[in-house]
Amino acid sequence: MRFYRCGIVYGALLPFNEVLKLDMGKYGHAVGGFEGSTPTFVLSEPDLLRDVLVKDFHIFHYRRHVDVYDPLTKTLVSVLEGEDWKRVRTIITPAFTSKRMRQMGSIINDCSKSVIETCERSFKEGKPVECKSLFGTFTMDVIARAAFGTQIDSHNDPENAFLKEAKKTFMEPRIFTILIALILPTWILVRLSMFHLDRNHFFQNVIETVIKERKRTGKKYNDVLQILMDAADETEHSLNSELFEDETDRFGSITEKNESPTLKNKKLSKIELLAQCVLFFFAGYETTASALTFLAYELAKNPEWQEKLIEEVDKAFEKQTEMSYDAVRDLKVLDAVISETLRMYPTAVITERTATEDYELGNTGIVIEKGIRVAVPIYRMHYDPDLFEGPETFNPKRFMDPSESKHHPYAYLPFGAGPRNCLGMRFALLEIKLCVANILRHFRFRKDATTQVKYKMGGLLSVNELYLAVEKRTDVK
């Protein structure tokens, strides 16, 4: 297999988002290249991706391997490998089944009330709302409640200890560390942790306090922390039918068809429990806040779609006074608008897998050698005109009308695919749906003179800030 050095440098030469869309047609949909000093195979052919991500997952079940020093980081389910990954993933999967999503809808609805209040203040003051901050504080509140069992109000109390510690831990710029990680050989990175999770043990203390109180009172809560607490107390239990109902198809070839997913030691250690709560925060804060920000921006740019969505939301509210998991699940326009937003602005611009043995790629004659990383350029695929007609145009109809839905299912990968897809996908979508439905019941988004998209350079597609005007609705039925 031949590897090319494409010589692409982003930043001063091209905006970050434009580099991600560079036409690689001259190299094809399967080509070797270099990520810093590391040979990497870049694959964007959907049929072959289905093989790598699902059919032959047993060969590509690892992502990037980095030895980390921080004990909390190395127990994240996204970092774990082999049997440890399988065990932890299996334990935490029931936290995101349909039954659990129905239960957690009330948390999301409650947190979205502060979003409405902030929009109300901005409207009365005649000022635009800064969407990244608006949705960032919303997702912060949701995750604090769902993962840490802690109620905060980031909109009205920006100085609370949880918020300040979270910003310190997760939001400080790390682009230098990320670039170093890409350039240096893996053997130099043995003790490199991309970030020090919970350096001051703040989150660990919060969780331990909540756990002690819950055990003392015996009261159960409908949140992720409670599910993980319950899992930490189990040792010899099989997966329940709820898990089979929702997750069997996602696990592909992780188990043999006749093998029971029962685990001999189905137990989370204290550090594993804490790590998954912190991961839930780290993976869910920036990603969901960015998706909501870009969605609001596209609604402001495309008022015809905003009106279609408002009409659908109003009809849903005629049947109930509060949105729910089951109510938003049936909103086809909302589904399509979110899907198209995630196509144009996938937060994770790339995903990857590592070959654990030599692998012949389909009928191409190409052999991916053991240890080679396969990079999937999600962002570039979403803008490939061979995969999506008119990719630069916001067109939710492509996800609604079967005659418009001509894209390959493995060309659209905002949450990845296969057994290592995004575990929190269902929660993230519910969070977005409920928040958007609640906002549009009261307001419309409009562009104004301050509206400008400035992309943030980093491992995720995001913006530093984005201002939109909010217009209070006077036509609520």
> From CA 329, how far away is CA 312, in angstroms rounded?
12
Distances (CA, A) of 96 to 46, 85, 99, 102, 430: 27, 17, 8, 10, 11
The DSSP 8-state label assigned to residue 243 in this structure reads H
Our CA angle for 326, 287, 382, nearest 5°, is 90
The answer to the question of whether 422 is labelled as a binding residue is yes
> From CA 370, how far away is CA 71, in angstroms rounded?
28
Could you please report the per-residue DSSP string of 126-189? T--EEHHHHHHHHHHHHHHHHHH-----TTT-TT-HHHHHHHHHHSS--HHHHHHHHHS-GGGG
Tell me which residue of 160, 166, 152, 229 sits closest to 198, measured CA to CA.
166
The burial class, CB within 10 Å (0-12 / 13-18 / 19+), for 438 is: buried
Residue 394 and residue 340 in contact, taking contact as beta carbons nearer than 8 Å: yes
> From CA 66, how far away is CA 45, in angstroms rounded?
27
Number of H helices, E strands in the chain: 16, 12
Beta-bridge partner residues of 456: 462
Residue 197 and residue 264 in contact, taking contact as beta carbons nearer than 8 Å: no
Q: At what angle are helices 303-319 and 332-344 packed, to 10 degrees?
A: 140
> From CA 321, how far away is CA 386, in angstroms rounded?
44
Tell me which residue of 269, 268, 284, 294 sits closest to 144, measured CA to CA.
284
Q: Which residues are annotated as a binding site for heme?
A: 422
